[in-house]
Amino acid sequence: MIITEHVVKRGKRIPVSELSKSSCVKVAVECPECLKIRSVHYRSLAAAGHTVCQACMMKKSEKFLPIGIQYGMLCVVGKGKRAGYSSCKCSCGTVKEIRNQNILSGQRSCGCEKAHNFDNANRPKGKDHGLWKGGVSSERERTMQTRDYKIWREFVIERDGHKCLKCGTENELKAHHIEDYRTAPEKRTAPDNGATLCKLCHNEFHKCYGRFNTCREQLNAFLQPSTT
């Protein structure tokens, strides 16, 4: 139902019924389903031929998927909280709301299948990679690009509260190897062999103790508050 009876157009007050179907003037309307009042362009009303809001139209056209039906790894276990969605249980055990249209269009898992395929894809490496430049990257640079190293770095920084243990800043954080990278290769990604330092404090530590044969005692001494 159109609530607005008259509008002002070009300085004149005219009835809404006299507006052209292409008019951009906004009028107030009430949805006959949910009784919500909203403001819309008159041309949109003329094109639609009704005042039902979009949310109610979606509910009217909502398709329900039968409970118990299987789509690949997904099993429909109920209606979703949102219009057009179903609650599905994946073979991996995850229960997730998925859009019905996506299921009918071919989605067959909660996303775990895609993640598994991505993690186990046979990607070209080394000389077989299209961007291979003759092995100019150092062994350490290549190691730092591995998934295990990135997980280790994120774990160390998150465990330390995303703050430098020396000065407390949250900027330019580094995951420092307590027992250094070169002399303790077996501990390069050990969870207890990392400490969070900012770039400045990290450089300061290595100025004091060098870059080789570092240990936890040195780190503890470095982290002690200055008495001067």
Residues 10-21 have pLDDT tens digits of: 788 889 888 889
> Does 228 score more than 60 pLDDT?
no
- pLDDT tens digit sequence for 79-135: 888 878 899 999 999 999 999 989 989 999 999 988 888 777 787 877 787 877 776
Question: Model pTM?
Answer: 0.44
Tokens of 98: 């998925």
In this predicted structure, what is the pLDDT of residue 43? 92
Residues 6+ apart with CB under 8 A from 40: 26, 27, 29
Residues 6+ apart with CB under 8 A from 9: 19, 23, 25
In this predicted structure, what is the pLDDT of residue 136? 67
- pLDDT tens digit sequence for 24-69: 889 999 999 889 999 999 999 899 889 998 888 877 766 788 999 9
